[in-house]
Structures are given as structure tokens and as C-alpha cells.
Structure 1
Amino acid sequence: MRRALFLLKFTTMMIGTVCPASGVFAGAQPVLWSALRPADQSRLDAALPGMASSRPQGETLAWRDEARTVELTGFILPVDQDGENVYEFMLVPWAGACSHSAAPPPNQLVHVVAAEPFHLSRVYEVVTVTGNLRPGLDKTQLFIMDGVRVLDYGYSMSQAQVAKATGFVDPDLKTVSPLGVLAR
């Protein structure tokens, strides 16, 4: 019995605990979008790939700590949904990415598979996803307003906890947006 209790406590400590109030893992490290790209890749490079710089940096993945449970806040772009329930989506750093503006570079796109369906109450909902962020370039197909689009992404998160964003906001969510870039 004592050994079982120890193993339960140890496992809980290692993978995090679910906080009933927020639905996210306690002890998860908040991560900014800037941590996913090289330090010398500016926000403008990320917002307008190929236009702001001649250096192709979008495939350079800066995050490598797969073992750490993290929280990342961004906007949902549904990949698989049934009505208002979203099962799989791309997490993007600004509203309208991919549908109203150029797709972010791969190091600014996260493919998320939710542990439970997320009820999407509005377009461009801001959410916080919690889980283990895995680097690795891949592709997914996405249906948007004007047809099908193939997106290259640099990170993925499976069995992610998804919750409406509250409190913590990444500075990139405010400044790296189609309108924010034009206002510079």
C-alpha cells in the first residue's frame, strides 16, 4: 500500500496534476511564442515569412524540452470539428492567420489534438493549451473559407488540455497580428 501511494505521488509530481478549477495542469510552465523561434528571428519575420527577411528561419525550431509540461496561448484554427466541438486544431499566434493572412512559419504553428473535445464558442477563440510540446516538422491539411490548404507546422501537442484563455497573455498575441503589423 505504501509503495502504491509513493508511486501515485511520484507519477503525479512528474506529469503534473489537473487543477479542477481551470482544467489545466498545475505547475505547467507558461511559454511565449518567441520561445519557439530562434532569438534572431523577429516578430515581423514570423508574421510575414519571406517578406521581412531574406533568411529562411521558419523551419528552425527553438523549443526542445519535450519532457516539460507547458502552457501556450493562441488562436484556434480547426482541423477536425463536429459542429462547435473541436477535436484537432492548429494553434496560431494571431487571429486570422492562414485564413485572412499568410500562414505563420512552421516554428509558429502548433498542431494540437485535444484530450477532450473543446467547445468553440466563437471564431478566433483565444485558448491556452497545456501538455508536452514536441518539435518536429510535419504537414496537415486544413479546410478554410476559400478551399483546402496544406500547412507546414513545427510543433505538436497530443492529449492536450484546452481551456479558454484567462489572465496570462503572450505579448506576441497583441503585437503580431495582421493589423498590428500594418500599424508599425
Structure 2
Amino acid sequence: MRRLTLVLTLLLATTQIHAEPQELDWLELMPAEDRKALEDMPEISHDTPEADGNFAGKGGLKQQDKNLPAVMYSARTVPALNGREIRLGGYPVPLETDAKGLNTTFFLVPYPGACIHVPPPPPNQIVLVRYPKGIQLEDIYAPLWVDGRLKVEKVSNDLADAAYAIEAAKVERIEEEEQ
């Protein structure tokens, strides 16, 4: 009987070790009040120089329009997600590379070209990814899967404010048939 219990325990542990992390939807990163506010938000004007592709890099992913609804500036998080192993699909905004030219730090955003869209996503829809192994990012319009431990962590730099970070264990391109 003890032997059977030991075998079952080992099988369960092995299954948990090799299981894929739970896929997370971007809206799950927002508290319920923010999701509701986003649903109720009026149409946003994209009539700016940046919308025509005249983007000079000023502001990057940081919110420049101070007249938007509060949800567009929200850095409110979901504390229950802190420390969870997750899988999140999104688009990269490169930040740092290693000596081999591999991207080791980048922001992950929910839609392609977020760094040139107006308005950019709120901080609770921007995730800093740290991936020491690195990945070659040839196309910021090519989606990625990022697997790792999610942290509630406020990150701010010249390009963006993020409310979460991921210590990535694995980063891979999403193949066309998966989209």
C-alpha cells in the first residue's frame, strides 16, 4: 500500500512539473472594476499625428492624453495573480539585448504596434518580461507566448509604466495556426 501511494505521489508530481502553465487572458490582469469601466468607456479619438504614423518616439507607451477616462491610466492589479505560473500571449516592445543581440528584456502588450498607437494600453495591460536566455525579435508584429512567474511589480521607464513583470521561463513565437 505504501508503495502504491509513493508511485501515485511521484506520478502526480511529475504531471504537475510538466504541465503547461495556465493561459491568462489580458483582461484577467485588470480588477473587475477596471474591466467594467473599459466596457463602458466612450469611443476614443485616434485623430493625432501618431495615428498617421508620424511617431517620433516621444512618450512611447506612456499615456499623453490627460483627458481620457481613468481606466486608461490604471495601474491597479489583481493581487491573487502575484506569484502564479502563467502563459500570456502578446506582442513585444524590445528594451534590452545581450552581447549576442538577443532580446532579454521587453514589454509585452495585448495588441501589435502598441508603442505607436494612441492611446497606448494602461499600465495594468503592459507586462515587463525578463528573459535572460534571450530571444531574437525580428518582427514586433509577430505574437509571442511567454511562460513564467507573474509578479505584481510597478515598473517605470522613459518608454512605459507597467503594473506587472514576468520572470520568463520560456518565450516562443505563436505559430499562425495557433492564432
Fold match, TM over 0.5?
yes
The structure where helix makes up a greater share of residues is: 2
SS in 1 for 2:148: strand
Partner in structure 2 of residue 160 of structure 1: 169
Cα-to-partner distance string for 1:72-121 (whole Å, 9 max, x where unaligned): 00000001025752111000111111234333211000000114111213
Partner in structure 2 of residue 89 of structure 1: 106
| Distance in 1 (alpha carbons) for counterparts of 2:23 and 2:178 | 8
| Distance in 2 (alpha carbons) for counterparts of 1:77 and 1:44 | 28
Cα-to-partner distance string for 1:112-166 (whole Å, 9 max, x where unaligned): 01141112132322101001111122213xxxxxxxx331110001143100013
Correspondent of 1:42 among 38, 45, 64: 38
94-103 or 120-129, which moves further after superposition? 94-103
Partner in structure 1 of residue 82 of structure 2: 66
SS in 2 for 1:153: strand
User: What RMSD in Å do the two structures reach over aligned CA positions?
Assistant: 3.2
When the two structures are aligned, how many residues end up with a matched partner? 148
Structure 2: stretches of 5+ with no match in the other structure = 45-62
SS in 2 for 1:74: strand
SS in 2 for 1:104: coil
Query: Rg bigger for which structure?
Result: 2
SS in 1 for 2:80: coil
Q: Runs of 4+ in structure 1 displaced over 4 angstroms?
A: 5-14, 47-52, 54-57
The structure where strand makes up a greater share of residues is: 1
Correspondent of 2:25 among 26, 32, 39: 32
Structure 1: stretches of 5+ with no match in the other structure = 18-25, 141-148, 170-184
2:72/2:122 contact within 8 Å kept: no
Superposition TM-score, scaled by structure 1 size: 0.64
